[in-house]
Amino acid sequence: MSNEIKTQVVVLGAGPGGYSAAFRAADLGLEVVLVERYSTLGGVCLNVGCIPSKALLHLAKHIEDSKHMADHGVSFGEAKIDLDKIRAHKEKVVGQLTGGLDQMSKMRKVKVVTGKGEFTGANELKVVGDEETTIKFDNAIIAAGSQPVELPFIPHDDKRIWDSTDALELPFVPEKMLILGGGIIGLEMGCVYSALGSKLDVVEFMDQLIPAADKDLIKVFTKEMQKKYENIMLETKVTKVEAKKDGIHVTFEGKNAPEKPVKYDAVLVAVGRTPNGKKIGADKAGVDVDDRGFIKTDNQLRTSADNIFAIGDIIGQPMLAHKAVHEGHVAAENIAGKKHFFEPKVIPSIAYTDPEVAWAGVTEKEAKEQGIKYEAVTFPWSASGRAIASNATNGFTKLIFDKENDRLIGGAMVGSHAGELLGEVCLAIEMGSDAEDIALTVHAHPTLHESVGLAAEIYEGSITDLPNKKAKKK
């Protein structure tokens, strides 16, 4: 029969946002129950998102790099792919992290209830799993996340039509594969399958891959992608997907559409994610959910119900784990009586493709739209000793400064390890650093991250590693 639990805080969803909120609340002395529908904690990110994809991308990168080594005098021969072993490796990585979460919830005395949770009232949540549990709570944090968007004209049931979760399962290496959607998730998986030997096409409705990022970055990025993809179809959409015995037949329409339908062995649908707001009985708790399934919160993450908070993908874009984690902390802290707000200046975005694309803060596009008087400076990695030595000269680092006060308002980079360079940019923006602050910070040499300092020097007019356009002024 049904159990009943009483608790101060229930957290619905154990993804990065949910477990962070639960652990933070527990650390602040609250009694916490964490509800998760799957048997492992960690949500999409740890189980079928960020982490497994990075495990595979790591392998992909080495496969690709080993091919180029021959040019530098080191030959490895053809890579041999053992799909089962790769899968096992990936699962080990995931298992290590999710296992860690189990332990940490035990340490913090966070009770985990497995099953699908739905609100039945303003202070009650019903969880249906192997058994049914009713949780009476004072406060709740909704962290129920999102799931891949499914398109109505696509037969998603077919085994050869994948979403990101399916693709990460590595069911087989298709000979010819279509990535539907030129965003981060699709392109990352594309890198994996390209390295494993698939021939790839990608189709994107907008006029560039990763539409949110600045054009100059994507120009470099697309050039690299052209080596991996047979056909990059921009400003093109898919109108028909037919699952036949010999393959998936896809019909395109638009600027770069092939005339005839193309046959693929697999299609990865990666056109975005949709929030799970409508699946949790939010209305019964008095939590407003909009038409698209997003829950609206104030900047303390409180929903329309005073005792219920919401965080992560379910409250809006960007749907990123690091945003959810910080929101989780703020929500837990507010429940614990603190008066905290979620108001960061920037939330970074990274595509872990090869090369990586990373940006934070205002993009040049946004700066123009917002009428900011800005100046963008770019340090090409072709002038970086470390990049040259590491075969990474195709990248560059761009910083965007507010000309009114010389403060950094945005930064972006494309290239190997670009994502690892972004941290400095985020910190600099949060701290209100101006160009001089960054230029006067001693960056280690030779590194890729020194390109951030050097870009600031370009703005300052003190650069010596490149011709200095502003030399006369200083």
Q: State the catalytic residues.
A: 445
Q: Consult the annotation and say whether 154 binds a ligand.
A: no
Q: How far is the CB of 432 from another protein (least distance, A)?
A: 4
For residue 235, give Cα distances in angstroms to 114, 187, 256.
Answer: 43, 16, 7
The residue among 106 and 403 lying less far from another protein, judged by its C-beta, is 403
Burial status of residue 457 (CB atoms within 10 A of its CB: 0-12, 13-18, 19 or more): buried
Q: How far is the CB of 328 from another protein (least distance, A)?
A: 16
Helices 321-335, 16-27: axis angle to 10 degrees equals: 30
Interface residues toward another protein, by CB under 8 A:
338-341, 343-345, 402, 404-407, 409, 430-432, 434, 472-474
Q: Consult the annotation and say whether 371 binds a ligand.
A: no
300 token code pair: 């303390």
Q: Consult the annotation and say whether 319 binds a ligand.
A: yes
Q: How far is the CB of 405 from another protein (least distance, A)?
A: 6
Q: Consult the annotation and say whether 49 binds a ligand.
A: no
Helices 50-69, 184-196: axis angle to 10 degrees equals: 50
CB 17 within 8 A of CB 101: no
* Residue closest to 330 by CA, chosen among 283, 306, 298: 298
Compute the Cα dihedral for 131, 134, 138, 142 and give only its sign. positive
HSE value, Cβ hemisphere, 13 Å, CA-based, for 461: 7
Task: Please report, as a single letter, which amino acid is at residue 313.
Answer: D
* Residue closest to 197 by CA, chosen among 180, 178, 174: 174
Q: Consult the annotation and say whether 104 binds a ligand.
A: no
CB 169 within 8 A of CB 150: no
Q: How far is the CB of 158 from another protein (least distance, A)?
A: 48
The residue among 203 and 428 lying less far from another protein, judged by its C-beta, is 428
Q: How far is the CB of 263 from another protein (least distance, A)?
A: 52
The residue among 215 and 345 lying less far from another protein, judged by its C-beta, is 345
Burial status of residue 378 (CB atoms within 10 A of its CB: 0-12, 13-18, 19 or more): middle
Contacts of 427 by beta carbon, 8 Å cutoff, 6+ apart = 433
Q: Consult the annotation and say whether 15 binds a ligand.
A: no
Q: Consult the annotation and say whether 182 binds a ligand.
A: yes
- Give CA–CA dist 278/256, Å, rounded: 37
The residue among 140 and 426 lying less far from another protein, judged by its C-beta, is 426
The residue among 260 and 339 lying less far from another protein, judged by its C-beta, is 339
The residue among 262 and 409 lying less far from another protein, judged by its C-beta, is 409
Q: How far is the CB of 431 from another protein (least distance, A)?
A: 5
What residues are designated binding site?
A: 54, 117, 181-188, 204, 272, 313, 319-322
What residues are designated binding site for NAD(+)?
A: 181-188, 204, 272
What residues are designated binding site for FAD?
A: 54, 117, 313, 319-322
